[in-house]
């Protein structure tokens, strides 16, 4: 039977029409029901003969083939699936954008029986599944897979088909132990000093050399600020640093605190270009050591310092004229956000300015969604996002007046696309610094985040605030001064 072009299924294993293949399979089943066995083993047909193992493998493949055909029957794009025996099934018109390569039938069994959407991602990390072609196209399959609505008969057939022998071979069970932590282990992590330090090490202490491969020359691990979509990443990150400094209206001699300073790019920029005394804190030892080295290389020891410190251990009252936090409040845990903004309020001098740059989501609270599970299990064990409106409310309750809010969602989508391209282009070098599963986690994570920012599921905002009751001259009357060319 000829299928519509949009739902075409082609196999590279055989040129036989679909009906002939179906007839051969049906005939084989009839033989088994009648007690006649495959005589490929050289013993002839007849009752009591053992089945050839190759016949069992064929049945496994047949079941998997039918599951794949049903799953992608109505897929509107072009995709291919290559099975463990080399057979490739093509769906849709034209050349496939992406090919999913399954290395063992046991993966199908686990996907169906466990019903865990993250299992597909885990299979990719461990090398049980490969992706050839456009990774973004593979990620867009998520919407199609989540839209599937199988009948009771189909679900029963899938479960029956999953109950065949076969397990994941030992060679495909790779990955260090800490990548196999369950979601509940990470999700219930308490935001103690020890817990936060472990989470920071999990994410940031992989290797400075690994991050250097795909970050910009300043080692800025947050969204850039593009003046146009064609601008290169290095220039866009310089724009972002200067944009923050302009918003804070930095003046020479002022004290600036950067909570979560990363590799020190912002404190070094502010000290070198605006003459402030900048102090940064980080919980990552590798970031701290790198920042110290770069401060010395730039000759900024007299005005720029960094410290290995938890934000909760910052002492003093009214110490800094300006405070900035970039990509930090997402890590403190939603329950600790009031504590976090309260600490900033305590450290800020009267009339001082605070800029919070952070990622948000379009739903309140950090729920156990697929995206949340993925992030907490593999990328940010302590991560938690909320809406921008909730973040603003907590800042106001802490005693801040909101002066300015700027959405940077398109900028982060562009930044992530740059990071993905850079990482892909230097994969061989990356694998000298991190194992293959870690590379795959980062590759998939950043590509998925790019799509989420483009879709609007998550956003990023800069919120500029001042202590209440500090007069009317905390910032100029217009924003004209923000847009001075770098």
Nearest Cα to 250, choosing from 219, 276, 229, 286? 276
* Residue 141 reports pLDDT greater than 50: yes
**Mean pLDDT of all residues belonging to the chain:** 80
Torsion of CA 12, 17, 18, 21, to 10 degrees: -80
Mean pLDDT on 336-347: 96
What share of the chain has pLDDT > 70, as a percent? 72
Instruction: Let me know whether 236 and 355 are in one domain.
Output: yes
Q: In this predicted structure, which of 46-55, 262-271, 425-434 has the lowest mean pLDDT?
A: 46-55
Using 50, 70 and 90 to split pLDDT, how confident is the model at 360? Answer: very high
Q: In this predicted structure, which of 37-51, 73-87, 242-256, 446-460 has the lowest mean pLDDT?
A: 37-51
Measured CA to CA in angstroms, residue 147 lies from 143, 150, 153 at distances of: 6, 10, 18
Q: Which two tokens stand for residue 242?
A: 């200067």
* Single residue among 142, 172, 202 that ends a domain in this structure: 172
Length of the chain (residues): 486
In a domain? residue 378: yes
In a domain? residue 321: yes
Give me the pLDDT at residue 54, please: 54
Instruction: Let me know whether 157 and 212 are in one domain.
Output: no
What does the pLDDT look like over 231-241, one tens digit per residue? 999 999 999 99
Instruction: Let me know whether 248 and 315 are in one domain.
Output: yes
Give me the pLDDT at residue 281, please: 98
- CATH classification of the domain holding 408: 3.40.50.150
Eight-state DSSP code of residue 335: G
Give me the pLDDT at residue 326, please: 97
Mean pLDDT on 208-231: 96
* Residue 304 reports pLDDT greater than 70: yes
Q: Residue 75 is part of which domain span? A: 5-172
Give me the pLDDT at residue 68, please: 85
Instruction: Let me know whether 225 and 157 are in one domain.
Output: no
In a domain? residue 165: yes
Q: In this predicted structure, which of 53-67, 231-245, 354-368, 424-438 has the lowest mean pLDDT?
A: 53-67
Instruction: Let me know whether 279 and 399 are in one domain.
Output: yes
Select the more confidently predicted residue: 311 or 329.
Answer: 311
Using 50, 70 and 90 to split pLDDT, how confident is the model at 82? Answer: very high
Instruction: Let me know whether 128 and 210 are in one domain.
Output: no
Instruction: Let me know whether 297 and 400 are in one domain.
Output: yes
Give me the pLDDT at residue 65, please: 84
Phi, psi of 419, deg, nearest 5? -60, -45
In a domain? residue 305: yes
Mean pLDDT on 411-420: 98
Give me the pLDDT at residue 390, please: 94
Instruction: Let me know whether 135 and 247 are in one domain.
Output: no
Burial 81-95 (b: 16+ CB within 10 A, else e): bbbbeeeebbbbeee
3-state secondary structure of 366: coil
Give me the pLDDT at residue 250, please: 97
Using CB atoms within 10 Å of the CB of residue 380, give its burial: 0 to 12 exposed, 13 to 18 middle, 19+ buried. Answer: buried
- Report the catalytic residues: 449
pTM of the complete model beyond 0.85: no
* Residue 438 reports pLDDT greater than 60: yes
Using 50, 70 and 90 to split pLDDT, how confident is the model at 200? Answer: very low
In a domain? residue 332: yes
Using 50, 70 and 90 to split pLDDT, how confident is the model at 337? Answer: very high
Mean pLDDT on 175-193: 41
Measured CA to CA in angstroms, residue 150 lies from 42, 81, 147, 276 at distances of: 42, 20, 10, 62
* Residue 414 reports pLDDT greater than 90: yes
Instruction: Let me know whether 9 and 156 are in one domain.
Output: yes
Eight-state DSSP code of residue 336: G
Instruction: Let me know whether 161 and 267 are in one domain.
Output: no
Q: Which two tokens stand for residue 394?
A: 């907590």
Mean pLDDT on 162-190: 43
Do residues 340 and 311 lie in contact, with contact meaning Cβ atoms separated by under 8 Å?
yes
* Residue 69 reports pLDDT greater than 80: yes
* Single residue among 143, 172, 201 that ends a domain in this structure: 172
Give me the pLDDT at residue 72, please: 87
Select the more confidently predicted residue: 137 or 47.
Answer: 137
Instruction: Let me know whether 395 and 267 are in one domain.
Output: yes
Would you give the distance in Å from CA 137 to the centre of its chain? 15
Give me the pLDDT at residue 423, please: 98
Instruction: Let me know whether 415 and 361 are in one domain.
Output: yes
Using 50, 70 and 90 to split pLDDT, how confident is the model at 36? Answer: very low
Number of domains in the chain: 2
């Amino acid at each position: 039977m000829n299928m519509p072009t949009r739902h075409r299924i082609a196999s590279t294993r055989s040129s036989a029409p679909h009906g002939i293949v179906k007839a051969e399979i049906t005939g084989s089943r009839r033989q088994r029901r009648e007690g006649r066995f495959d005589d490929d083993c050289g013993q002839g047909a007849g009752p009591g003969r053992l089945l050839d193992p190759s016949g069992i493998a064929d049945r496994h493949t047949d079941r998997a083939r039918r599951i794949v055909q049903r799953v992608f029957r109505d897929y509107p794009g072009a995709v291919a699936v290559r099975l463990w025996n080399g057979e490739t099934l093509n769906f849709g018109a034209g050349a496939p954008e992406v090919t999913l390569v399954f290395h063992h039938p046991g993966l199908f069994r686990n996907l169906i029986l466990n019903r865990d959407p993250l299992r597909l991602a885990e299979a990719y990390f461990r090398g049980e599944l490969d992706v050839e072609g456009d990774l973004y196209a593979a990620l867009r399959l998520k919407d199609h897979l989540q839209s599937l609505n199988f009948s009771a008969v189909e679900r029963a057939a899938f479960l029956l088909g999953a109950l065949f022998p076969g397990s994941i071979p030992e060679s495909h069970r790779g990955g260090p132990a800490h990548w196999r932590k369950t979601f509940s282990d990470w999700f219930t992590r308490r935001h103690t000093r020890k817990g936060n330090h472990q989470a920071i090490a999990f994410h940031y202490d992989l290797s400075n050399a690994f991050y250097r491969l795909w970050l910009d020359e300043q080692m800025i691990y947050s969204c850039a600020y593009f003046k146009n979509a064609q601008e290169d990443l290095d220039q866009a990150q310089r724009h972002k640093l200067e944009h923050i400094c302009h918003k804070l209206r930095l003046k020479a001699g002022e004290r600036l605190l950067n909570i979560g300073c990363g590799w020190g790019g912002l404190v070094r920029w502010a000290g070198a270009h605006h003459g402030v005394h900048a102090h940064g804190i980080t919980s990552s030892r590798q970031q701290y050591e790198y920042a110290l080295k770069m401060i010395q290389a730039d000759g900024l020891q007299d005005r720029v310092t960094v410290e290995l410190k938890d934000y909760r251990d910052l002492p003093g009252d009214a110490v800094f004229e300006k405070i900035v936090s970039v990509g930090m409040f997402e890590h403190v845990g939603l329950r600790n956000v009031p504590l976090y903004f309260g600490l900033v309020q305590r450290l800020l001098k009267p009339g001082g300015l605070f800029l919070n740059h952070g990622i948000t989501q379009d739903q309140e609270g950090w729920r156990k969604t697929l995206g949340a599970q993925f992030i907490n299990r593999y990328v940010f064990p302590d991560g938690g996002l909320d809406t921008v409106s909730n973040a603003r409310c907590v800042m106001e309750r802490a005693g801040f007046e909101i002066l300015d809010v700027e959405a940077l969602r398109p900028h982060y989508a562009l930044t992530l696309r740059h990071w993905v391209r850079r990482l892909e282009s230097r994969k061989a070098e990356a694998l000298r610094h991190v194992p293959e599963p870690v590379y795959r986690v980062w590759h998939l994570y950043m590509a998925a985040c790019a799509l989420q920012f483009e879709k609007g599921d998550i956003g990023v905002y800069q919120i500029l605030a001042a202590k209440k009751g500090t007069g009317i001259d905390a910032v100029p009357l217009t924003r004209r001064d923000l847009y001075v060319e770098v």
